Amino acid sequence: MTFHFNGFVNGDTTNAVTGAPALNTTATSNSLPGNYPITIGAGSLAAANYTFALTNGTLTVLAVADVAVFKSGTNNGVAGYPITYTIRVTNSGPSTATNVITTDDLPAGTVFVSASGAFTTNSGQVTWSGVDLVAGASTNYTITLTPTNAGSVTNIARATSATADTNPGNNDGSASGSAAVTSVLPGPTFGILAGPITLNRQTGLFEQRLTVTNTSVVTVTAVKVLVGGLLAPDVLFNATGTNGDGRPYVQNNSSLTNGQTVTFVMEYYVPSRLVARLAGVTFEVQATPVVPHTTLGAGVAIDRWFIDARLAGDSRFVIEWTSVPGTTYTVLYSDDSVTWKAAVPSITANANRTQWYDDGPPKTDSKPFGANPRFYRVVTVIVD
């Protein structure tokens, strides 16, 4: 508490006074915010030419809080794959921290994916709506970003409060605990080995074996091969789907670790039967999430099966069933008759008999001639 004098004359200053008044208040270091009376007594005040008129005062205790921000996240990430960070905001008191607004600065070289709670995004920053935190309380937020390039990503969070802060250094983003540093590895890379294109006279389709190798340190959950350069009306007959840019693709829903390979059998329908039309075909391999299949439809009897052994060293298992032109069928397969998977893609019949080759990827996870038997079912409808 402080005091001051008024009323000096003839150029006198506080040097004309000795001693000090006695100041007392009911407020303590633990008092709640508010106004408290200050009573003043003469104490040891003395002056040769002055008398003293004492005026009581008021002590105002302000609300103060200690808001702190802590950021955590993975130490290592992969370019092109999302990273999730957690932000913890605490208040050590002693007062309630009101209107605590938390922000996260999006690092350069990242793309915002999502965040928890009520937030807005603007100018490379995510801001969460203000909340009140009583002394000892905390709140958490999460934010997910995707790094676009290899290198290092530093993600910083900060918070402000309408309540005075006794230690702004632990919530203004300058503290090491308010930042998370992630080392970002390069994204998946692949090697491609394309074999010759040959005509399967049984199906009337041109076929090409394409071996994809994961040349990165990243394990991918699934891979797709996008095919470009096809000339209309030629089509990729066994396409799993069509990419946003119009390119058809095949997909293998099995993981691929460093150095592992998967061989796709690409099937092309070329009405003219001129293989030269496929000379400009191009391939691009991408890592992709697994595409699940659900809802099975009515079953269809498989009434014929055989091994096509016309290619030396490459026996191929074929199933056949009676079909209805225009109806779409999906082949289900299992290596234990318990766990069933859907072959991709589904087949739309163009005749009253349909043959289907199990060549392994992209249709199935592997070729059927392994240690275990392979079981097959055909259904008319599957929703994916």
User: What confidence tens digit (pLDDT) does each residue in 357-380 have?
Assistant: 998 998 998 889 877 899 999 998
Token pair for 383: 């929703």
Residue 382 has pLDDT above 60, yes or no: no
Mean per-residue pLDDT, 59-83: 90
292 pLDDT above the threshold of 70: no
Lowest mean pLDDT among 226-230, 251-255, 270-274: 251-255
| C-beta neighbour count of 246 within 10 angstroms | 8
Mean per-residue pLDDT, 9-18 = 91
Average pLDDT on 222-243 reads: 93
Q: What percent of the chain has pLDDT over 90?
A: 68
Q: Which residue has the higher pLDDT, 292 or 154?
A: 154
Catalogue all structural domains in the chain, each as residue range(s) with its CATH number.
14-61 (no CATH), 65-185 (2.60.40.1510), 190-287 (2.60.40.290), 294-383 (2.60.40)
Kindly state the average pLDDT of the residues 41-62.
89
Q: Say what the pTM is.
A: 0.57
- pLDDT of 161 reads 95
pLDDT at position 337 over 90: no
Question: Is 296's pLDDT higher than 80?
Answer: no
Q: Tell me the pLDDT tens digit for each residue of 261-291.
A: 999 999 999 999 999 999 999 999 999 888 7
- Chain position carrying tokens 């318990």: 338
Q: How far apart are CA 28 and CA 36, in angstroms?
A: 10
Confidence of residue 217 (pLDDT cuts 50, 70, 90): confident
Tokens describing residue 253: 């829903």
Mean pLDDT lowest among 22-31, 97-106, 273-282: 22-31
Angle at 97 between CA 165 and CA 99, to 5 degrees: 110
Shortest CA distance to 358 belongs to which of 265, 276, 289, 287? Answer: 265
Give pLDDT, residue 109.
93
- 193 burial level (CB within 10 Å; 0-12, 13-18, 19+): exposed
Gap between the Cα atoms of 380 and 28, Å rounded: 81
Whole-number pLDDT of residue 295: 57
Distances in Å between the alpha carbon of 29 and those of 25, 61, 94, 379?
Answer: 11, 9, 10, 78
Predicted local confidence at residue 92, as pLDDT? 94
CA–CA distance, 90 with 312 (Å, rounded to integer) = 70
The confidence score (pLDDT) of residue 171 equals 95
Per-residue model confidence (pLDDT) at position 293: 57
Phi, psi of 19 (to 5 degrees): 80, -170
Q: Which of 115, 198, 187, 185 is nearest to 153 (CA)?
A: 185
**pLDDT for res 31:** 74
Q: Which of 88, 258, 82 is nearest to 182 (CA)?
A: 82
Mean pLDDT across 203-211: 94
Per the prediction, the chain carries an average pLDDT of 91
- What pLDDT does 29 receive? 72
Q: In terms of Cα–Cα distance, which of 290, 291, 302 is closest to 375? A: 302
CB of 159 closer than 8 Å to CB of 102: yes
Torsion of CA 249, 255, 261, 262, to 10 degrees: -40
Burial 299-333 (b: 16+ CB within 10 A, else e): ebeeeeeeeeeeeeeeebbbbebebeeeebbbbbb
- What's the pLDDT band for 123 if we cut at 50, 70, 90? confident
